[in-house]
Amino acid sequence: MLKFCLFFSVLLIPGVQGIFGPDDAQYNETEARMLLNLAAAAYSLDATPCLQRTFTPAENQTLLTTFSVRCDFIGNPCAGYIVVSDVLQQITVVFRGTKTSSQLLLEGWTTLKPSADFYGMGLVNTYFRSGHEKTWQYVQDALSIPQYRNYDVYVTGHSLGGALAGLAAPRIVHDGLRQSHQIKVITFGEPRVGNLDFSHAYDQLVPYSFRVTHAIDIVPHLPACVKDLSYTPPAGSDGSMPCDPMSTNGGYHHALEVWYPGNMTVGSPYMICTGLPRDEDFSCSNAPKVDLDDTTLGVWDHRNYFGVQVPDFGKGGCDPTMTFKGPPTKTGVLSLVSSVFGRKRRAV
């Protein structure tokens, strides 16, 4: 069932507890805002300004490593960074979102269904699996450092970064680097990473996990799930249909969705999506029918979380005085490409 919540927070937050516990099974917007800053910082060449604006000096959040590897045959990167706090006894793994328009198309968000086995957990998107394999060593090495072996782990990312977070987190538990109660995931605008089997395995391995979705952000609808053909849309509706909770053939989300149906400014209401189908609650972001020929608001919502344009905000050092433009005016699949990256389409 659904629950409406109101939460007051500010952008510069005082910190979080270093040891995960039962409270971490509940969504915490203060925590999410902190991690959104870090996800934004991954788009920058230097995460330090965002770290300094997000944490107090007493928390001693230190940049442990950065990584950027060739992710495909064109040379697009999969990248991120890892920070550690000895004070909080925490490690935070952050993955960067999609960097270029060619990378977006190679990811196959609009067409491909999960087809690559992921360590017996189910099938996942082949591009995401490849990106995971190329970045995994950095995660494994950091979590294997003896002095950090008991530190709890946050994993986060926006867009593609959310997908890579969605693969790294269950593997951390699967490979025995941490126990389930020692890891927490919050992602933003995450696409469907795997199929139903993967969703079930993920939820068992990573119980402290939340997918934050903004209004009609188009990316969480991609790749498409298999629709439940037994459902009859009500007369006068837009014809939207829920995902089939029994099909393993298409994409299927994992983790609990937290949906902000309007804007995401301080105090905005959000919904904890615990309805059916599990992880694809038909009363939340999956309810509106997605039209790829009219994605004006969907692409804008993807770029904008908690009142900031995520890539630009990170590149600007998470400066809270930054201002951002309103929704784009283009429509169609090409607007998904141009709006995600803030580029104008060239005349042809």
* Domain membership flag for residue 75: yes
- What's the pLDDT score for residue 245? 96
161 falls within a domain: yes
Q: What's the pLDDT at 177?
A: 98
Q: State pTM to two decimals.
A: 0.87
Q: What is the CATH number of the domain that holds 17?
A: 3.40.50.1820
Between CA 344 and CA 330 the distance in angstroms is 10
Decide if 175 is catalytic.
no
pLDDT in tens, 169-203: 999 999 999 999 999 999 999 999 999 999 999 99
Flag whether pLDDT at 94 surpasses 70: yes
217 in catalytic set: yes
- Verify whether residue 159 is a known catalytic residue: yes
pLDDT in tens, 206-253: 999 999 999 999 899 988 899 999 999 998 888 899 999 999 999 999
Catalytic pick from 132, 158, 254, 302?
302
Is 138 within the bounds of a domain?
yes
What DSSP designation does 194 have? Answer: B
Structure tokens at 5: 């919540």
Considering the domain boundaries, does residue 184 fall inside one? Answer: yes
**Which of 94, 62, 101 has the alpha carbon at shortest distance from 79?**
94
Residue type at position 38 = L
Where would I find the H helices in 124-226? 126-143, 160-174, 196-205
**Domains contained in the chain, number:** 1
The answer to whether residue 347 sits within a structural domain is: no
Flag whether 299 is in a domain: yes
Domain that includes residue 300, residue range: 2-341
Q: Which of 24, 85, 132, 159 is catalytic?
A: 159
Please state, in angstroms and rounded to a whole number, the distance separating the CA atoms of residues 235 and 77: 46
Query: Is residue 348 in a domain?
Result: no
Bond prior to 277 in cis (omega within 30° of 0): yes
Question: Active-site residue among 24, 152, 197, 217?
Answer: 217
Q: Is residue 27 part of a domain?
A: yes
Rounded to a whole number, what is the distance in angstroms from the first to the last CA of the chain? Answer: 49
Q: What would the DSSP string read from start to end of 275-329? A: -SSTTS-TTTTTSSPP-TT--HHHHHHHHEETTEEHHHHHHTTT-TT--------
The pLDDT confidence band at residue 134, using thresholds 50, 70 and 90, is very high
Torsional sign, CA 229, 234, 240, 243: negative
Which of the four pLDDT bands, split at 50, 70 and 90, describes residue 1?
A: very low
Q: Alpha carbon 309 to chain centroid distance?
A: 15
